[in-house]
Amino acid sequence: MRIKAAVRLILPVSTMVLAMMATTTAAAKERSDAGMTYDGAVSDALAITAHRPELNVVRVAGQSMLPYFGDDAVVVVKKIDAARLRVGMIAVYVNRFGEKVAHRIIAPVAGGWQVKGYNNAEADSTVVNAGNLLGIVYATFNSSGRAPVAMAASNLPSIETVYAAPAR
């Protein structure tokens, strides 16, 4: 009798949890937003990198990596040797068009690694290798964006942008 009662309780609860997860995932795909201001995200990221020369802070533009990060997310990039890359890591690299991109490694290929944005239908045309690798995403700070007025008034240093965009 106890088992039947437990099953009757678990099934509705698990259904409710799955429904909540689906709703949360759908909302996250629209914008990965932790409610943190952009300046707050940059400040936190800079604090992590202050005494670590192998770490660099960049801003994200694009939505191909949602729900993990998107427009105005701030990520900390860690320089690593290309031999340490593995499937599932988020590589930050320079593509054949000279753009800095942050996409997930999906497979080893001849000459390096194939990468793809989570929301992209196709893999990127550029293979990631020792020659174009800038590092991997070490930490992510999602922000609620930055108002144009706040951009002009900020005392924070300007940081470079990497793209999480459609495959090219």
Q: What is the DSSP track for the chain?
A: -HHHHHHHHHHHHHHHHHHHHHHHHHHHHH----SB-HHHHHHHHHHHHTT-TTEEEEEEE-STTTTT--TT-EEEEE---GGG--TT-EEEEE-TTS-EEEEEEEEEETTEEEEE-TT-SS--SSPB-TTTEEEEEEEEE-B----HHHHHH--SPP--EEE--S--
pTM: 0.76
Q: For residue 42, what pLDDT is reported?
A: 93
Provide the residue range defining the domain that includes 57. Answer: 38-163
Residue 158: predicted pLDDT: 83
Residue 168 belongs to some domain of the structure: no
Percent of the chain residues past pLDDT 70, beyond the cut: 74
Residues 79, 159: one domain? yes
One domain, residues 15 and 87: no
Residues of the chain with pLDDT under 70: 1-34, 146-154
11 and 53 both lie in a single domain: no
Contact assessment for residue 79 and residue 92, using Cβ atoms and an 8 Å cutoff: no
On whether both 98 and 148 belong to a single domain, the answer is: yes
Domain contains 19? yes
pLDDT confidence of residue 132: 98
CA-wise closest residue to 164 among 131, 126, 118? 118
Task: Give the number of domains in the chain.
Answer: 2
Q: Do 42 and 26 share a structural domain?
A: no
Same domain (yes/no): 26, 103: no
C-alpha span between 63 and 41 (Å, rounded):
18
Residue 155, pLDDT score: 72
Angle at the Cα of 11 (from 8 to 13), degrees rounded to 5? 110
CATH number at 140 reads: 2.10.109.10
For residue 23, what pLDDT is reported? 38
